[in-house]
Every structure is written in C-alpha cells, then in structure tokens.
C-alpha cells in the first residue's frame, strides 16, 4: 500500500513517515501544495494524508482540484486544533476523514487502515482468504491459525493482494503500489517476491493469470 504524505512541518512529517513505514506502507512525501497536487495527479496512491495549511497552494485547493479531475483516492485531512470550520470545508471539498492536530499517531494509522479497506469494500480489519488471514491492525499474517513470518517486502505484496481477494492484479499495478516514486522500479522484482511468498504460503495461493498478473486464491 502506497501513501502520499503531505505535511510542510518537518518535525511532524518525519515521525509520520517513520510510523507509516513501520506499519508496512510505502511513503511518498510532499512539503507543499504544488508538489502534492502534481504527485496526486500523476502517481498512484492507496491513500493520502493531507495537511490543509500548506505553502504555495493550500490543502483544500489541492483536494478540490483532485476531485474536480475525478481522482477518487481516499484522503485523510489534517486540520488545526479547534478548526471546526476547516473540518467542514475539508469534508465538503472531498475529504474522506479528518484528524485535528495534535493527534496520536496510532489514531492516524487506524483511520488510514479504515479508509483503505473501505475503498476496497472491506468492512473488517481482519482480512482473510481461505485459510490465510492478515490482521491489518497488528500486521500479523497467519495460515491455518499459525503465524507466518514475512519480510517487509513480502508483507507489502501480500497485504495488497489481501485487500483485493479474487481480483487479478497486474505486475505494473503491483509495482505502482509497492514502490515509492524515487525507487528503482523493476517489475521483475515482483516476480521474485511472488516466488518467495509462494514458498512461505501454499504455492497455489497466488495464481499466475497468464498475460494479466496474479490472483490470490483461497486455500484450505
């Protein structure tokens, strides 16, 4: 899952980036509205954390322009304390949820998890596909109730597939959602990680759909 983090205050952006990365997300950052607007128009994200008070172009304008252009990505806005009018304006501009500063990072992570799973039509934070389960709160993966140890890369790949059970996901889609913009993107590495996951899960859990991509299949 790939997140765009838009926050101009370095003292807030750095711990947010660390927490998001620690929670298994890939993070792209912007510290002003113009760069945020551009990234949101040209790159693919699973959700955005958008501060409203930004230099160059304010967060509300960024959000309105994304929505006017038909960009539907989930957006969690960050507002000033007691800024109730900001919250209303943010929701009306197309924000999906808000958080007032100061906030606990745990709350931001929980709201983000909810936005991401709702965008996929998933109600529960516990994702399952047959005997395979992923708890998005703890990042714990189990197979028939037994824990499966995954590396950060393997986890990201599986988490993306678990949010789309039964759907065919192309390698280019995986590449877009599993790597940040400045990362060297090579879709062959996706194949490598699929291979590694298949050795830790039942191999048939990740089906190759020739010419199209991969599909997570329920295994007993």
Sign of the alpha-carbon torsion through 75, 76, 81, 84: positive
Number of residues that bind Ca ion (CB under 5 A): 3
Q: How far is the CB of 132 from Ca ion (least distance, A)?
A: 40
Nearer to Ca ion, 61 or 170 (CB): 61
Residue with tokens 């998933």: 122
Separation of alpha carbons 107 and 10, rounded Å: 20
Strand duo 206-209 + 213-216: pairing: antiparallel
Options 3-11, 160-168, 186-194, 205-213: segment touching Ca ion (CB under 5 A): 3-11
Q: Shortest Cβ distance from residue 17 to Ca ion (Å)?
A: 15
Decide if residue 96 touches Ca ion (CB under 5 A).
no
Q: How far is the CB of 54 from Ca ion (least distance, A)?
A: 6
Binding residues among 53-82 for Ca ion as defined by CB under 5 A: 53
Q: Would you call 9 helix, strand, or coil by DSSP?
A: coil
CA distances from 53 to 18, 63, 79, 159, 218 (A): 21, 12, 8, 32, 45
Give the nearest residue (CB) to Ca ion. 53
Q: What's 219's DSSP letter?
A: B
Judged by CB under 5 A, the chain residues 8 through 27 that form the site for Ca ion are 8
Nearer to Ca ion, 9 or 135 (CB): 9
Q: Judged by CB, which is closer to Ca ion: 93, or 178?
A: 93
Query: Which of 54, 140, 43, 125 shows the shortest CA–CA distance to 90?
Result: 54
Q: Which of 28, 35, 51, 173 binds Ca ion (CB under 5 A)?
A: 51
Q: Between 51 and 96, name the residue whose CB sits nearer to Ca ion.
A: 51
Q: What are phi and psi of 118, to 5 degrees?
A: -65, -35
Residues 6+ apart with CB under 8 A from 151: 196
Query: Would you state the structure tokens that stand for residue 174, as one six-digit string?
Result: 């995986």
Nearer to Ca ion, 24 or 53 (CB): 53
Site string for Ca ion, 119-148 (x = CB under 5 A): ------------------------------
Q: For residues 100 and 98, give the distance between their C-alpha atoms in angstroms, rounded to a whole number.
A: 7
Q: Which residues bind Ca ion (CB under 5 A)?
A: 8, 51, 53
């Amino acid at each position: 899952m790939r997140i765009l983090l838009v926050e101009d205050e370095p003292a807030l952006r750095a711990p947010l980036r660390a927490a998001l990365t620690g929670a298994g997300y890939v993070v792209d950052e912007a510290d002003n509205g113009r760069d945020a607007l551009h990234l949101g128009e040209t790159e693919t994200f699973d959700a955005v954390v958008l501060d409203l008070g930004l230099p160059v172009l304010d967060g509300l304008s960024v959000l309105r322009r994304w929505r006017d252009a038909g960009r539907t990505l989930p957006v969690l806005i960050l507002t000033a304390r007691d800024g109730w009018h900001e919250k209303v304006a943010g929701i009306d501009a197309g924000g999906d949820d808000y958080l007032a500063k100061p906030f606990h990072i745990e709350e931001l992570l929980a709201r983000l998890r909810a936005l991401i799973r709702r965008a996929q039509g998933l109600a529960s934070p516990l994702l399952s596909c047959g005997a395979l389960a992923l708890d998005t709160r703890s990042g714990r993966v189990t197979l028939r109730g037994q824990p499966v140890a995954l590396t950060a890369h393997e986890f990201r790949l599986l988490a993306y597939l678990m949010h789309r059970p039964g759907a065919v996901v192309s390698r280019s889609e995986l590449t877009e959602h599993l790597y940040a913009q400045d990362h060297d993107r090579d879709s062959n590495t996706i194949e490598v990680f699929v291979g590694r996951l298949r050795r830790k899960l039942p191999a048939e859990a990740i089906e190759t759909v020739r010419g199209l991509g991969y599909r997570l299949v329920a295994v007993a």
